[in-house]
Structure 1
Amino acid sequence: MRKFDMRKLKLRSVSVDDLSDRMLLVNLYLTQLLTLIIGSVWLFLQSRNPFRLMEFPSSLNFLGWGAGLAAAVLLADVAISRWVPDEVSDDGGVNERLFKARPVWHIALISLIVSICEEVLFRGAIQHAIGPYWTSIVFAAIHVRYLRHWIPTGLVFSISYGLGWIFIQSGTIWAPIAAHFLIDLIMGLIIRFRREKE
């Protein structure tokens, strides 16, 4: 049996343009699965039950928190896109590739999966350990494709802090999940239908 030699392993940078649509989706879903696993393990290490965290609240007040934050984020994004050139808010084409030709049901599914997986890790586990400010710094750093420009980095940090704030105010993880879902869904639909018009 041949031994695996780590010294012969070569890493290379891959652009989003180098990925097929299938590989882009596989990468997205595997990343989200890993995010959910890390979040769940972290919750267990904190002696907290992920199922308890995900309990659905008896009141639907969380929807108001989620929709309110999503509306504020979308208004801010519209204002920024009106006065800031596209290249300043460029994410390397990832969102464009991900949403431009995707059916609406698939955009909704991606938005739901991403919102649940990321909120379990960031708001459920990390924020419990280090608070909303430092969690937002980690969240912005994880969204590395935005780090080339300060405006999208600041926006991602602010969105994350807002998600953490509504989690504290509402007392349920479902408020940031709802906000995250609505933000991703509406942004995905804007990309999808803007490109269709062009």
Structure 2
Amino acid sequence: MKQNDIVKQLTDKELTKQLIFSQSLLLILSIFLSFLLFDSMNDWLRYFSFKIDDLIYYGILPGFSIIIIDLLLMYILPKKYYDDDGINDRIFKNRSLKGIVGIALMVAITEELLFRGVIQTMFGYLAASILFALVHIRYLKKPVLLISVLFVSFYIGYMFFLTKNLLVTIIAHFTVDFVLGVIIRFRK
């Protein structure tokens, strides 16, 4: 059975539970690997820096750059190329703004802690970017979505490479997910 067939059988509430469950697993994995791979938590915590200029220049602005490119591609390309089998519509369409903030924040934090904070820090930029794309398994048979998620992964990974600041990548990731979630929510 295909993933989209399984998803279609889930209620919106069950889909939300599955999303929370998968993100919880990623969070637990990132915490476990952090304790295992870093000499001390101080080594890991040094990747969190509240430098407002970095957060804007390397977090928010790249996030909006990704959104603009995504929206342009959605406008130019036939809809079928950006069709994720309706999963994102199901996640965001009937959700409140507070719910969209919660999901976007949860996903941004858990994925960036694991992929930039642990994998990129310990195994490199290439490994983290490719694994990030592979975790988005539903895009593997959708070339435009796969290339898009690879681009986003490499771009956000590069922001981490430049700044060594997880808050930057969390903000960039959150910006993308939140704004696109809001667009899905209010799209006619």
TM-score in same-fold range (> 0.5): yes
Q: Distance in 2 between the 1:168 and 1:137 partners? A: 15
Q: Match for 2:12: what amino acid? A: D
Q: Distance in 2 between the 1:57 and 1:159 partners? A: 22
- 1:124 and 2:129 matched: no
- The correspondence of residues 36-47 of structure 1 with structure 2, limited to 5 A, is 36-47=27-38
- 1:49 and 2:41 matched: yes
- The correspondence of residues 11-160 of structure 1 with structure 2, limited to 5 A, is 14-47=5-38, 48-49=40-41, 52-53=45-46, 55-160=48-153
Q: Percent identity?
A: 32
Greater CA deviation, 122-131 or 48-57? 48-57
Structure 2 contact 47–164 (Cα < 8 Å) conserved: no
Taking a change above 3 Å as real, the CA distance of residues 76 and 23 of structure 1, as seen in their structure-2 partners, is same
Q: Distance in 2 between the 1:55 and 1:149 partners? A: 34
Q: Distance in 2 between the 1:69 and 1:163 partners? A: 8
5+ long unaligned stretches in structure 1? 1-10
The structure whose Rg is larger is 1
State the Cα distance separating 1:61 from its structure 2 match.
2.2
Structure 2 contact 47–117 (Cα < 8 Å) conserved: no
Q: Which runs of 4+ in 1 moved over 4 A?
A: 11-14
> Aligned residue pairs: how many?
185
5+ long unaligned stretches in structure 2? none
Greater CA deviation, 116-125 or 11-20? 11-20
Taking a change above 3 Å as real, the CA distance of residues 97 and 61 of structure 1, as seen in their structure-2 partners, is same
Q: Distance in 2 between the 1:168 and 1:35 partners? A: 21
Structure 1 contact 167–176 (Cα < 8 Å) conserved: yes
- Residue 15 of structure 1 aligns to a residue in which SS? helix
- Residue 101 of structure 1 aligns to a residue in which SS? coil
Q: Output one character per residue of 1:81-129: Cα deviation in whole Å (capped at 9) or x when no partner.
A: 1111111111111101000110111001100011000000000011122
Q: TM-score, normalised by structure 1?
A: 0.87
Taking a change above 3 Å as real, the CA distance of residues 137 and 58 of structure 1, as seen in their structure-2 partners, is closer
Please identify which structure carries the higher helix content: 2
Q: Match for 1:116: what amino acid? A: I
Structure 1 contact 16–93 (Cα < 8 Å) conserved: no
Greater CA deviation, 60-69 or 178-187? 60-69
Q: Distance in 2 between the 1:12 and 1:164 partners? A: 30
Greater CA deviation, 104-113 or 128-137? 128-137
Q: Distance in 2 between the 1:60 and 1:161 partners? A: 21
Q: Distance in 1 between the 2:182 and 2:46 partners? A: 29
Structure 2 contact 125–161 (Cα < 8 Å) conserved: no
Q: TM-score, normalised by structure 2?
A: 0.91
Q: Distance in 2 between the 1:170 and 1:101 partners? A: 36
